[in-house]
């Protein structure tokens, strides 16, 4: 059962991610961990990297500051799988990848 919080309704409304936190990730929901929403909540107002204001879907003070090693490893595996699917070497620069994908798309468009 989700606990009530003094956060705004938007920050404690049950969502799929709120319901799977404890069962899948062995992590408490924001309402259970921080009923005030001062350090952990959904839909926290935040500054955008490119400037301006926006919202963070999930905000936990100090938790998302550095990219976790497991996430970097997942991205590396995904990048390698995509490169393999396109028949590209996995050590290309971003510019080389874009050039080759453009060439593949142009060739496919002529068929």
Domain encompassing residue 13:
9-60
Q: Within 10 Å of residue 89's Cβ, how many Cβ atoms?
A: 10
Q: Are residues 41 and 76 in the same domain?
A: no
Quick one: tokens of 103?
Answer: 């060439």
Q: Does residue 47 lie within any of the structural domains?
A: yes
54-89 tens-digit pLDDT: 887 777 777 766 777 888 888 889 888 988 998 999
What pTM value is reported for the model?
A: 0.41
Residues 56 and 75 placed together within one structural domain of the fold: no
Residues 28 and 47 in one domain: yes
Q: Confidence band (pLDDT; 50, 70, 90) for 15? A: low
Instruction: Flag whether 1 is in a domain.
Output: no
Helix (H, G, I), strand (E, B) or coil at 1: coil
Q: Count of domains in the chain?
A: 2
Please check whether residues 54 and 83 belong to one and the same domain. no
- Asked if residue 2 belongs to a domain, the reply is no
């Amino acid at each position: 059962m989700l606990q009530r919080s003094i956060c705004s309704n938007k920050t404690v409304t049950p969502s799929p991610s709120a319901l799977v936190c404890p069962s899948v990730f062995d992590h408490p929901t924001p309402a259970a961990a921080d009923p005030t929403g001062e350090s952990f909540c959904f839909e926290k107002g935040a500054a955008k990297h490119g400037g301006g204001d926006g919202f963070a879907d999930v905000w936990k003070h100090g938790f998302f500051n550095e990219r976790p090693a497991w996430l970097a490893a997942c991205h590396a595996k995904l990048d390698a799988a995509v490169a393999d699917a396109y028949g590209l070497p996995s050590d290309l620069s971003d510019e080389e990848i874009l050039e080759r994908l453009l060439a593949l798309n142009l060739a496919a468009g002529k068929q």
